[in-house]
Chain A
């Protein structure tokens, strides 16, 4: 059956112009560059991608968003009161008015031979400090721009912003510049006024960061052993006096002086900010800051400190050492370390993938270790960040990696009421692992998820997939299937556990099964929830989810590789089961039980296989960031996009639109495709007519259903009339071929033995009819008022209507036997 000559994606037509891939800009990385306080300490300027956000320190709200750069910003600096410099990688420097967010001046510092820049500093006397790539690939050279004059200060300095510091501005134009060299084993110091050059080398401990006080001649360096050195008189002395401050066990990632040089702030991967009193023994700690500290910046008037964290948050700490405000971007998940070999990048970067939440139209995916976030793709905002593991986040020790409990799989029930999460914690060095399957129920009154059931070690080995049964729409108790590496699949059901003391429901394992001791690799439910497919390596098995009876086993000698991804088609393509192995893509027809098509030898391994919930199309994303959109009924792609991104895609999802988009390809009418790469940047595949992520909502989305009653809610209309189509649960009635049996018997019996046509005609026609509820049928016939055929009508009277009703029953029986046949017959 496999169509070898099917036109594969390779021969697809080229990109059409109206489909574009856009990188998401509105929820970007806000911690790539250190933030900058304004002179009056009222605002915090944060560079994120190509734009600058001005945030109020008091409220933590965004005041302005400055957009004009066409490249990523590499540095921010305050020129004078209320004027901000920003510089991008191409060397374009823009002056902004902070108060009204207006662009004042645009200049470029790029000159011949200096086209690309790494970091930008402004020591406040009309001089720029810029580092640019040097001949040596690992390092960079530091240049000073003074008007038109360009002076090379150091060569071979580190690329990072933290490796350059300047200070000692005593009002007489003196400037001391310090920099770490790119091997991080030495500090280079230059006094520009007295023209002194020094180089101080260290022992084995490499430096990680450097800071200098603005006015005093004092310098601090942090190193990989967690030691902080305070250097005194380092310009004149060859062997300067150093003070050692050592508390950190891991590398120090940032140090910062307070404006009077009284205190020193330091932070690193311990997630603790330490406030040292210089010259004294005392130190204060601010522990459990949530995530690794990347930068610490002190406000000019010492009122607060801002810390940038690796989870894409900036926290503002007030003078009493408490977190006052936090500015969040989209939380980024720290890649999981210490996974076994052979795990894909997705398992480390975003193990949950993207999971659509039908209740809020949001997407669930990993945030910090043990957390899960819900992201609203329409508004580009985080709805909430939820603690799944409820454990203290542990930090590494100096030579050992200590893992945290991580959320590995998430599944949402079709109504969004239930959330199943799998958290895994493993310590490979000890050979011990832990797994918890948690079931959360959404409480509409409290507007949050409540933990309902917590199962410790649901499988003996890692669960590879979780799926809720769709199609029931809350009428029956939902069911979840989990497959694990212990060769088992388990069906979990909600059971009523109410007794006289309390009302309670909880989830328990209903059935645990296996299949020929083969590893289950993927699972999928058909759209109406009537069929469960589980792939065991190269074999697909179809089960009845209610009784867990094996219906069919599908395998073919063309398929040798283990199936990694599997999805049922939607809508008109409900009968196709699309499977993806490492390098091939194929589809089974579950009704005729045949292999429909196969596309082998793909250019790159398949990363994601995503069905569109609003149409019958599916998308496949390859590792080399090629995207093919196809209908499961044929192997010919509807659309092909190459080079979506330069990085590696790890997850994708079709996101429904609030309003259908006219004049666009059919697969883009109701939804658009979101792809995430290994840097956790979002890309949207969308029609050109839509302005990407700036798509404004034309209908306000009401949260009334989920909110408690208030006097204001009474103002809202009780009923809203809408022309929007109501979602009706899909139930496929056309299982099997109608009247197959009677046609077959008609064809097989010889004409000589056939009974008269008038006798068999009636039953033959009934067999071909689609079954209807007899009751609704009568009503319909009645309303039409012209029913004179053999269908029962109320007008025909009591006795006559009885006979056809009996016949109807018989038909139903026949249909039932027919339904079973296609699935039991091999």
Chain B
């Protein structure tokens, strides 16, 4: 049963997107509806493909496709998914559909906007499902341009600065990625082999592994923000239009984490085990640092951005703890944080749409005028701080277990790390609740515009999160 599902899934958005340009320029509605239909169709296609063709017990790569693409390089077009990538792919599909829905109010240059959305969609799915290192790299790079364009054209006040920062950072990181890819591919054999499977079975001398690891780590550290290479994130998130933020924060960050798991864990296991204590330490520091920095932000979206960084810390810790449970927790956190963060950004964006206030000082007492947003926001804040009953709690708990049960480390550092992580747990409600408080509580009279409500997006998000119970 060899139907090129994945290729279709990967290529459908972008090809459909290019059709966008043929649509008449007038009337945004058509464009929006078209995009949404494409997204939904894609999502359904993905789900169908996964439901019927994916056997959950099979550890090997499934739905694999193997085409020779560029003969010169022996470059294969290899796609395949396994348990690790299926989560993010579904997440991508779901979130991107919602993002397109959320981008409803964008009216300026909407063709380009939606095309870029769809392009990102393809790129993300491509990168999550690629089995070939170079393909992975290409897809990775492919993401940058749409984000840059999205950011610079539809962002906030400082958008050019943030966009430039973003592209410089990530491109700089990608250089390391390219070096690593080429190195891995060219090593040890006369012909370049870039296949994941082949590479996974190869073993390298430890020193070389370490070098590769560092290289990859730098690249991935930029993407999934690991301090100190995270500084592009708050700027970008603060300035981008909220749908871009959603996409960015959810998918791109997860690409970084996914890359960490895929490349570093699968291909470079020795180096990984050497580096994992450092990863854990960095992750722990990240949780606390980001949580504390979040407290001091005046910009609402930046605050949420820092909360993203903080949650990514959990993921990193989960990856760094070399246990199955830790990894499970990390993946679960990837997915759950994808939902939660997207929803938070969306709500922030919609409230911004209504209030036109970015800085938290000016906000206050909004709960009266936008009750539904307020309810959602409270629930999501609760979810973000890992309230039991929501997915975040389960994820964090499993990560905690991963740390505790990991055999590699001694007791004392474990205690310390767990302790510090748990401090992060205290800090999270402080900033998220104070965010809620500043925004919604109190009683400020100001000109509240009509609080019509944009139904479909948030409702779906809410449903998705509430359904995501342990």
Q: Do A and B come from one complex?
A: no
Chain B contacts to A: CB under 8 angstroms: none
Q: A residues within 8 Å of B by Cβ?
A: none
